Structures are given as C-alpha cells and as structure tokens.
C-alpha cells in the first residue's frame, strides 16, 4: 500500500476565520510542509513544533504517522505548490501557490499540475493507493469547485464551529469574479479548478486519473476535499470504482451530504472511527468535539489499521504528542 500525500497552499486560507489548520496565520503557511515531515520522520524538521489549531488541537498528521509506524506503508509526498519549504522528500510538481478564489483564475496552472500528477501515476504504476492532502483552506476551495461543477453538497471544516456562511460568501464572490454561475463548469473540471480550486485538487485529480488507467485501486482519504476530487473525476469522465475513506467526525458534521454524494458520484463510502474518546487525553478528545476532524489522509490511514492495533495507534499518538508538544506544566 502506498499512501500519497499531496501538499499545497492556497491564499484562500488567509481569509480571516476560514481555517483552523495552524495556531495562527503565520503557522498556517507552514502546516502542509510540517505535516509531511511529521508523517515521514515522526517529528517536525523545519519548525520547532507540530501544527496545532488555535485551541491546541494537534494536526491529523500525528495520527497518520502513528499508523505509518504501526502498519507500515510506502509514503509518497507530492508538492503541488507550497508556500513553505519542507524537508520531507517529495516530488515537486509545481512551485506556484494557489491564489485566493475571490481573484480571477487563482490556479491558472491547474492543467499542468493535473498532467504532471497523471503522468507520474502512470509511470510509477501503483497497485494500491490511499491518497490524502494537506492544504489549509482546502474545504473552501472544495466548496468552490463543487459549486462550479453544480454539485450541491456542503463541506466540513477544521473548526468545531463550521463557518459555513463565510465560506458561502467567499465562494459566491469567487464565482462572481470568474463570471460563473453555479454549475457553469459542469463537465469541465479544468474550468472549475482554474477558477475556484487549488493546486492540491488539481494534483489529486490528475494522479487518480493516471493511477486508475494503470489499474490501481484507489482510496480517496479525506472528507469534503476528496468529495470535490471525486466530483472532478466524474465530471472528467473517469468512471472507475472509487472508495472514499474518512473519519466519523466528518460524517457527523456533513453526514447526509456525504451519503448523497456517495450515491450520486458513485463511490464507496468508508467511515473510520478513531475512537479518541477512549484515550482520555484532552488533545485527542478535541477531535470528538469536532476540531480538525480529518486531513493528511488520516481517515484513510485509520482504515488500514486492524481492530487489534487501534490501541497501539492511540498509544503512539499520545507518546508523540507528549514528546513534541511543549507544555507549560511543571
């Protein structure tokens, strides 16, 4: 099994109140880069600390890393356009960060990124792929893409209190700037990606397009962003079997939309339960209160864990958290 982690940045994340993927806006710029280091090496390399939300909830990369240690999987990191440097080994497909979707054409290079990712997947010819992402602001661009394609589903959030009105406003403004009505990009995924997307969605869609063409089995590991990827794939005419694996926390947030998307976009839905309430640890229990919810392939990674190994995953998450998160306790 190869877990593919696609990293990128979008200036959409800089909109006040849109994302919790970082303690503050400066830290958020580094989140995908450090997430990849954490999964690869078990520790941040370019940063002193691991990414946390403003309230201190740790990045899902912590969980994906724990699964990596317990289950063992091949890791392939793809840089689709990062604003920060990462020291995790990665394939660099682009150096262009996505723009704010309220601008005209925030991702002009979406076709190039798509094609580079597709070609990589074709050349490498993976057997089984679980593909996840790390891009702050990614649920808002996902919403933008869904609306451009005319898909009606809502999106989740890394914030416990999903700022749906703000996201709707941003997407509405983005569509207006791009002179698009809802659904105008139906059947035209490049138009949706260029006008309302982000580099990660371009790379994920391209990668999966290439991978299925070589017979790879694909799991889209994530929530709303992977629903957007599935929609882009279907609108691109890709009709291969797809599975989407995400956490219970996403399902609790947007559950019925997830079921409707699975039916309409024809993907198998796998909901994994991290069971963090069993850890009695405030950092992980934050997930049970709806923080972070998903990301960095966490939902898909947990799907690789057998029933007997979940305790071990918990233990490693907690050990790593205590080791890496400096507390003020005496």
Provide DSSP, 286-300. HHHTTSS---TTHHH
Element housing 115 (H / E):
helix 110-124
Q: Are 52 and 295 in contact (CB under 8 A)?
A: no
Q: Give the one residue of 2, 49, 92, 177 binding a copy of itself; rule: CB under 8 A.
A: 92
Measured from the CB atom, the residue of 82 and 258 that comes closer to a copy of itself is 82
Pick the closest to residue 239 from 260, 259, 218 (CA basis).
218
Own/partner long-range contacts of 321-330 (Cβ < 8 Å, ≥24 apart): 321/58, 321/62, 321/281, 321/283, 321/284, 324/43, 324/44, 324/49, 324/50, 325/49, 325/50, 325/52, 325/58, 325/283, 326/49
Measured from the CB atom, the residue of 90 and 170 that comes closer to a copy of itself is 90
Q: Is residue 45 part of the contact set for a copy of itself (CB under 8 A)? A: yes
Q: Give the one residue of 56, 89, 152, 187 binding a copy of itself; rule: CB under 8 A.
A: 89
Measured from the CB atom, the residue of 86 and 156 that comes closer to a copy of itself is 86
Window 102-121: residues binding a copy of itself (CB under 8 A): 116, 119-120
Q: Which stretch binds a copy of itself (CB under 8 A): 16-24, 65-73, 86-94, 152-160?
A: 86-94
Q: Are 93 and 4 in contact (CB under 8 A)?
A: no
Q: Is residue 292 part of the contact set for a copy of itself (CB under 8 A)? A: no
Q: Is residue 288 part of the contact set for a copy of itself (CB under 8 A)? A: no
Query: What contacts 13, CB < 8 A, 6 or more positions away?
Result: 19, 21, 28, 135, 136, 137, 138, 140
Q: Give the one residue of 33, 39, 77, 233 binding a copy of itself; rule: CB under 8 A.
A: 77
φ, ψ at 158 (rounded to 5°): -80, -10
Measured from the CB atom, the residue of 109 and 272 that comes closer to a copy of itself is 109
Q: Give the one residue of 20, 67, 88, 143 binding a copy of itself; rule: CB under 8 A.
A: 88
Measured from the CB atom, the residue of 114 and 287 that comes closer to a copy of itself is 114
Least Cβ distance, residue 30 to a copy of itself (angstroms):
15
- Within 10 angstroms of residue 97's Cβ, the number of other Cβ atoms is 20
Least Cβ distance, residue 153 to a copy of itself (angstroms):
33
Q: Which stretch binds a copy of itself (CB under 8 A): 13-21, 90-98, 100-108, 240-248?
A: 90-98
Axis-axis angle for helices 110-124, 189-196 (nearest 10)? 120
Measured from the CB atom, the residue of 48 and 307 that comes closer to a copy of itself is 48
Q: What track of x and - describes contact with a copy of itself for positions 119 through 158 (by CB under 8 A)?
A: xx--xx----------------------------------
Q: What track of x and - describes contact with a copy of itself for positions 249 through 268 (by CB under 8 A)?
A: --------------------
CA torsion sign, 184 to 189 to 191 to 196? positive
Q: What is the dihedral of CA 154, 157, 161, 163, to 10 degrees?
A: -60
Q: Is residue 91 part of the contact set for a copy of itself (CB under 8 A)? A: yes
For the chain, the farthest-separated pair of C-alpha atoms sits apart, in whole angstroms, at: 59
The footprint of a copy of itself (CB under 8 A) covers 41, 43, 45, 76-77, 85, 87-92, 116, 119-120, 123-124
């Amino acid at each position: 099994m190869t877990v593919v982690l696609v990293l990128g940045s979008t200036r959409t994340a800089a909109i006040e109140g849109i994302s919790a993927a970082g303690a503050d806006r400066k830290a958020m710029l580094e989140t995908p880069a450090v997430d990849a280091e954490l999964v690869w090496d078990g520790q941040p390399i370019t940063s002193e600390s691991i990414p946390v939300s403003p309230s201190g909830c740790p990045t899902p990369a912590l969980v994906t890393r724990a699964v990596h240690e317990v289950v063992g999987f091949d890791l392939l990191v793809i840089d689709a356009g990062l604003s920060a440097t990462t020291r995790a080994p990665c394939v660099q497909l682009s150096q262009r960060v996505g723009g704010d979707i309220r601008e005209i054409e925030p991702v002009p290079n979406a076709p190039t990124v798509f094609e580079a990712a597709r070609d990589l997947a074709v050349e490498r010819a993976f057997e089984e792929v679980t593909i996840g992402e790390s891009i702050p602001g990614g649920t808002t661009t996902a919403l933008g893409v869904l609306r451009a394609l005319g898909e009606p589903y809502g999106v989740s959030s890394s914030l416990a209190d999903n700022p749906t009105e703000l996201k709707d406003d941003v997407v509405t403004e983005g569509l207006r700037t791009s002179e698009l009505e809802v659904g105008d990009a139906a059947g035209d995924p490049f138009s949706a990606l260029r006008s309302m997307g982000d580099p990660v969605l371009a790379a994920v869609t391209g990668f999966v397009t290439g991978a299925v063409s070589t017979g790879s089995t694909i799991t889209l590991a994530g929530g709303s962003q992977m629903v957007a990827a599935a929609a882009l794939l279907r609108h691109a005419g890709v009709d291969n079997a797809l599975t989407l694996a995400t956490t219970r926390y996403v399902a609790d947030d947007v559950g019925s939309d997830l079921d409707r998307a699975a039916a309409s976009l024809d993907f198998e839905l796998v909901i994994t339960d991290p069971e963090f309430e069993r850890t009695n640890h405030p950092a992980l229990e934050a997930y049970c209160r709806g923080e972070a919810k998903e990301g960095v392939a966490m939902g898909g990674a947990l799907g690789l864990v057998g029933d007997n190994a979940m305790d071990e995953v918990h233990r490693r998450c907690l050990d790593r958290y205590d080791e890496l998160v400096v507390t003020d306790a005496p």
